[in-house]
Amino acid sequence: MAEIGNDIQKAADFLLSGVVGIPTETVYGLAGNALDANRVADIFRVKKRPFFDPLIVHVHSQEALDPLITDFPPMLKKLADAFWPGPLTLLLPRSEKIPDLACSGLSEAAFRIPNHPLTLQLLQATGFPLAAPSANPFGYVSPTTAQHVNEQLGQDIPYVLDGGPSFVGLESTIVGLENGRPTIFRLGGLSIDEIKAVIGEVDVRINQSSDPRAPGMLKSHYSPLKPLLLCDIRSSLDQYRKQSPILILFDQLIEDYPIEKQILLSPNRSITEAATNLFSVLRQADKLAGEIILAESVPPNGLGIAINDRLKRASVQS
């Protein structure tokens, strides 16, 4: 198993020759030197990730980003100024410093400044940017604690920097330009409304394909091991009772069903809290006895749209 700790210098030392788990406000990342193709290859190997799915490069400041890009379109710069450090990733034309492997050979790479004090200090300590996908095996639920990382990748990495539970809980929102128009390619921890408040209209293109310009949007993703059905639980439950389902509900328990098989995303009816809890609730559901998971959509406002998107991708799709 990996060592878990909060020693920034130790993490920085391991990063000189390997990859480590790092905390961010969205989810935990599996980090390696973004400028070293060997470390980038290590990330793909440990995560069992296909090479056509490019990585996000993390930096501590816009100054550190400068040498890595060849242009910063004003519309995207406005978003960076408003939301960095934070749960926003921008697709920007990359300089030759970024190895092809990090961005699957695309002309743009994905960049963000994460909002977590330990990781910002770590980025200062290493002096190089960190490529980091979410620290889960490809296709599984993203980790929001150091323990989640250790459970799944602990055999393959020496160290997880423990920064406590990720407080946003959903991966960053990915924005780039398409035909000159600002476009969201992945819904995430920064809501559409927050983006619109800064730059006005924004297109949303989150189609489900293996097209690498549709980031992280492979049709099936974020999946627990048990089959998950997204449905109206109250009307569908009887149909599935024989399979002893585990229920994931937004804010209210169901009366005539065992309480130990029900998990609430937010007892306080808070969408933000539901986002924070989502991935640990999916992991918890996977561990409880029962053949299937039934989940209901949450109210589609603010981060609710991104939560429902994740639930849909986690669900069994026909």
Which residues contact ligand TXA by CB under 6 A? 24, 26-27, 29, 53-56, 89, 91, 103, 106, 108-110, 114, 132-134, 171-172, 174, 212-213, 215-216
Determine the residue type at 112.
R
Cβ closest to ligand TXA, residue 174 vs residue 274? 174
Residue tagged 């921008």 (tokens): 90
Which residues partner with 183 through β-bridges?
176, 203
Closest residue to bound Mg ion by CB = 134
Contact 79/183 with Cβ under 8 angstroms?
no
Cβ closest to ligand TXA, residue 112 vs residue 226? 112
Cβ closest to ligand TXA, residue 189 vs residue 304? 189
Per DSSP, helices labelled H in 25-98 are 37-47, 62-65, 74-83
Q: Tell whether residue 266 is a contact of Mg ion (CB under 5 A).
A: no
Q: At what angle do helices 304-314 and 271-287 cross, to 10 degrees?
A: 20
Picked from ligand TXA, Mg ion, none, the partner binding residue 295 (CB below 5 to 8 A depending on kind) is none
CA dist 58 to 32, 101, 256, Å?
10, 15, 48
Q: Give the number of other Cβ atoms within 10 Å of residue 205's Cβ.
A: 16
Q: Tell whether residue 173 is a contact of Mg ion (CB under 5 A).
A: no
How many residues are recorded in the chain? Answer: 318
Which pairs count as long-range contacts for 10-17, CB under 8 Å and 24+ apart, including other chains?
10/159, 11/122, 11/125, 11/159, 11/161, 12/122, 12/125, 12/126, 14/158, 14/159, 15/39, 15/122, 15/126, 15/130
Picked from Mg ion, ligand TXA, none, the partner binding residue 173 (CB below 5 to 8 A depending on kind) is none
Candidates 97-105, 115-123, 131-139, 272-280; binding stretch for Mg ion (CB under 5 A): 131-139
* Least spacing, CB of residue 235 vs Mg ion, in Å: 32
* Least spacing, CB of residue 177 vs ligand TXA, in Å: 11
Q: What DSSP element (H or E) covers 307?
A: helix 304-314
Q: Tell whether residue 134 is a contact of Mg ion (CB under 5 A).
A: yes
Cβ closest to Mg ion, residue 12 vs residue 132? 132
Helix (H, G, I), strand (E, B) or coil at 146: helix
Cβ closest to ligand TXA, residue 108 vs residue 296? 108
Picked from Mg ion, ligand TXA, none, the partner binding residue 161 (CB below 5 to 8 A depending on kind) is none
The Cα–Cα gap between 242 and 128 comes to 54
Cβ closest to ligand TXA, residue 209 vs residue 239? 209
| 244-283: burial string, b at 16+ Cβ within 10 Å, e else | ebbbbbbbeeeeeeeeebbbbbbeeebbbbbbbbbbbbbb
Binding mask 194-233 for Mg ion (x = CB under 5 A): ----------------------------------------
Cβ closest to ligand TXA, residue 9 vs residue 209? 209
* Least spacing, CB of residue 133 vs Mg ion, in Å: 5
Straight-line distance from the first to the last Cα atom of the chain, in angstroms, rounded to the nearest whole number: 37
Cβ closest to ligand TXA, residue 247 vs residue 282? 282
Picked from Mg ion, ligand TXA, none, the partner binding residue 169 (CB below 5 to 8 A depending on kind) is none
Picked from Mg ion, ligand TXA, none, the partner binding residue 195 (CB below 5 to 8 A depending on kind) is none
Picked from Mg ion, ligand TXA, none, the partner binding residue 314 (CB below 5 to 8 A depending on kind) is none
* Least spacing, CB of residue 313 vs ligand TXA, in Å: 11
Q: Provide the binding-site residues for Mg ion, judged by CB under 5 A.
A: 134
